[in-house]
Amino acid sequence: MRVVVQRSLEASCEVDGKITGKIDKGMVLLVGFTEGDDKETIDYMVRKILNLRIFDDENGVMNKSIDKESSAILSISQFTLYGDAKKGNRPSYIKALNGEQAIKLYDYFNEELKKEIHVETGIFGAEMKISLINDGPITILLEKE
């Protein structure tokens, strides 16, 4: 499982001209799955994301995790996180989990996050337009194999 975490001031997802998810301050998560990912993998990643200290404390030091009361998460499925362009110029997505299995894990991932914080999403498998004001910019890649 790979998750790109971006600290954001505001973000939204648009599908077919309609906003499907929108947040103010918080995190944008680009989420990809691979073979072998399971609920244990997701539980680990949810804990990691919710405790990731990428928000400033009163001294301007990134020492705080996401504020569950005043922040939110925009979660976007993105199989292209497993794109491999080592050979040639056209990425191979063979390591990305197939859609039928990935959507189940993605739904579970979002449900687990929703137990702790407000979560907005895109639409799995849809052509999405993501708007983001990255705060910092802060972008972290998390991976659990």
Q: Please write the tens of the pLDDT for every residue from 13-69.
A: 999 999 999 999 999 999 999 999 999 999 999 999 999 999 999 999 999 999 998
CA dihedral 51, 44, 32, 77 (to 10 degrees): -60
Q: What are the backbone angles phi and psi of residue 36, rounded to the nearest 5°?
A: 95, -15
CATH 3.40.50.2300 matches 2-143: no
pLDDT in the model for residue 133: 97
- Tell me the two tokens of residue 19: 């906003």
Spell out the alpha helix ranges (H) of the chain: 39-51, 99-114
As beta bridge partners, residue 96 has 34
In tens, the pLDDT along 69-114 reads 899 999 999 999 999 999 989 999 999 999 999 999 999 999 999 9
d(CA 87, CA 49): 32
pLDDT in the model for residue 71: 96
**3-class DSSP assignment, residue 96:** strand
- Tell me the two tokens of residue 50: 């919710």
pLDDT in the model for residue 145: 77
Judge whether residue 120 has pLDDT over 90: yes
CB-based contacts of 51: which residues, under 8 Å, 6+ apart? 65
Burial class (CB in 10 A: 0-12, 13-18, 19+), 122: buried
Count the neighbouring beta carbons within 10 Å of the beta carbon of residue 3: 24
**What number is the average pLDDT over the span 2-15?**
98
Beta-strand relationship, 72-77 and 129-143: unpaired
Q: Point out the residues that are catalytic.
A: 78-80
